[in-house]
Amino acid sequence: MQNLGRLESAFLRFIHVTPRYFPHIGGIESVVKELSERLVRETHSVSVYALDLNDKLPCEELINGVLVRRHKPIIGDPFFLPSFGFLRAIRNHNADIVHIHNIHTLPVIFVALLKKPNQKMIIQPHYHRFAQTWIRNLFFTFYKCLLAHIVLPRADAVIVNSRHEKKIVQEDLSRNRSIILVPESIDVNELKSVEWSPDHSKRILYVGGLRKYKNIDKLLLAFSLLLSKEDEDLKLVIVGDGPEKRRLVELAYESGIENYVEWKHDLTRQQLLFEYARARVFVSLSSFESFGRAIHEAIAIGVPTIALDHGATADLVQKGLAKGVSSVKPEEIVEVISKALKKYNRIETESVSRYFVDCEEYFNELKKVYEGVTKC
């Protein structure tokens, strides 16, 4: 803390650039919201620039002291091609620090090019190396060249949130040497206070966006197979929303499991914690992640958790905090879920909490990064 004097005593103006912001809920949205509000509480000025197609949200509003400015993109999700008005607003904003989140979207290139010479730029990539389809992955191969040669070299710091992300950023985008590992946080104290008390019915829980790379369709097929082998006292609870929702609901109907699947979204924090507490098993099979917040929250509460044994979740499997599957083949998923249901052992939260970073520690580490770049 002794190195943070300037940041704590000075008034700094921050811009956070993110594809979407609250009330959208997701890993990146949560990080940006919590960080922005924390900086405001410490008397800094924070403006969030987001790209949003939702006409129901105001173009500009103040949320807990954070000035949120939303612009409609020329092309929306997943590219978020910014409009001229968005770029002009970024260029005209007299910020001290520009903090860009998510390099899988296009704003990062434009903002990096428009940054004023006296402004410091921090990039938080949330990088997972691949795109979601072969066509987009082909485009992404060329896009990564722009990131490596033009964008990242302009950054004063690049913040990665896991050892896995640091490794792949260094391998793919290694021209920038200022790569700083700040493991992402969860509210450990809040989660440890949640009592894991699963229902009599065997509830299998998924929490996250309904997107193709999350492999929820594979989970539905595995659940259908599980129902044919186990008793019918099973429920699959899917919490989240996204572009795959309609297709997934249709798949559940075609598989004859629609009466055993509960779809939920827009839950309050307390409602979400209640779902964790009731679950017998938590499953996440996402192929592309830099950090899985929902997985960490489930583990911290003590819910037996199943995840891929490679990529960002490999560390959790290797440490014994989650059961691993090596593929998304329904037969393998069923085998691991069946073992987890029968074993019925709670993860001991006291023994796992040391692996997780608490919010206070996370924000202090980010403040050190801000302090470092303002000294340059």
Average model confidence (pLDDT) across the chain: 88
- Neighbouring residues of 253: CB distance < 8 A, sequence distance ≥ 6: none
Do 159 and 58 fall within a single domain? yes
Do 163 and 278 fall within a single domain? no
Question: Cα separation of 109 and 125, whole Å?
Answer: 12
Q: What is the mean pLDDT of residues 122-149?
A: 82
**Per-residue 3-state assignment (H helix, E strand, C coil) for 148-203:** HHHHHHHCCEEEECCHHHHHHHHHHCCCCCCEEECCCEECHHHHHCCCCCCCCCEE
Do 177 and 237 fall within a single domain? no
Q: Return the pLDDT at 67.
A: 97
Comparing 9-23, 27-41, 120-134, 315-329, the range with the smallest average pLDDT is: 120-134
Do 156 and 247 fall within a single domain? no
Residue 372 lies in a domain: no
Do 63 and 154 fall within a single domain? yes
Residue 106 lies in a domain: yes
- Per residue in 228-258, pLDDT tens? 887 678 999 999 988 899 999 999 999 999 9
Q: Return the pLDDT at 348.
A: 60
What percentage of the chain reaches a pLDDT higher than 90? 56
- Per residue in 38-93, pLDDT tens? 999 999 999 999 998 778 899 999 999 999 999 999 988 878 999 999 999 999 99
Residue 374 lies in a domain: no
Q: Return the pLDDT at 200.
A: 77
Paired sense of beta strands 66-71 and 60-63, if any: antiparallel
Question: Cα separation of 138 and 282, whole Å?
Answer: 33
184 — phi, psi (to 5°)? -65, 155
Write down which residue in 158, 181, 204 finishes a domain.
181
β partners of residue 14: 46, 97
Check whether 309 has a pLDDT greater than 80.
Answer: yes
Confidence class for position 3, pLDDT limits 50, 70, 90 = very low
Do 300 and 278 fall within a single domain? yes
Check whether 265 has a pLDDT greater than 50.
Answer: yes
Do 79 and 199 fall within a single domain? no
Please report which residue ranges of the chain form alpha helices under DSSP H: 5-9, 27-41, 84-92, 107-114, 134-146, 163-172, 188-192, 216-229, 245-254, 269-278, 293-301, 314-318, 330-343, 349-352, 359-375
Write down which residue in 144, 164, 181 finishes a domain.
181
Q: Return the pLDDT at 62.
A: 96
Domain count of the fold of the chain = 2
Q: Return the pLDDT at 4.
A: 46
CATH number at residue 100: 3.40.50.2000
Find the domain containing 293 and state its range.
Answer: 189-355
Does an H or E element contain 325, and which?
Answer: strand 323-325
**CA 253 to mean position of chain CA atoms:** 29
Do 243 and 156 fall within a single domain? no
121 — phi, psi (to 5°)? -125, 130
Q: Return the pLDDT at 181.
A: 92
Confidence class for position 310, pLDDT limits 50, 70, 90 = confident
Question: Cα separation of 353 and 189, whole Å?
Answer: 9
Check whether 201 has a pLDDT greater than 90.
Answer: no
Comparing 8-17, 41-50, 131-140, 173-182, the range with the smallest average pLDDT is: 131-140
Residue 373 lies in a domain: no
Q: Return the pLDDT at 1.
A: 34
List the Cα angle 135/141/144 in 5-degree steps: 135
Q: Which residue has the higher pLDDT, 53 or 298?
A: 298
Residue 365 lies in a domain: no
Tokens of 86: 């968005």
Residue 112 lies in a domain: yes
pTM above 0.85, yes or no: no
Check whether 351 has a pLDDT greater than 60.
Answer: no
Q: Return the pLDDT at 61.
A: 95
- Per residue in 96-117, pLDDT tens? 999 999 998 999 999 999 999 9
Do 214 and 297 fall within a single domain? yes
Do 235 and 304 fall within a single domain? yes
Q: Return the pLDDT at 30.
A: 87
Q: Return the pLDDT at 133.
A: 66
Check whether 272 has a pLDDT greater than 80.
Answer: yes
β partners of residue 324: 307
Do 96 and 201 fall within a single domain? no
- Per residue in 141-162, pLDDT tens? 888 889 998 899 999 999 998 8
What percentage of the chain reaches a pLDDT higher than 70? 92
Helix (H, G, I), strand (E, B) or coil at 231: coil
Q: How many CB atoms within 10 Å of residue 360?
A: 13
Residue 294 lies in a domain: yes
Write down which residue in 162, 181, 200 finishes a domain.
181
User: Which of 298, 293, 289, 307 is CA-nearest to residue 357?
Assistant: 293
Do 269 and 344 fall within a single domain? yes
Q: Return the pLDDT at 347.
A: 60
Residue 142 lies in a domain: yes
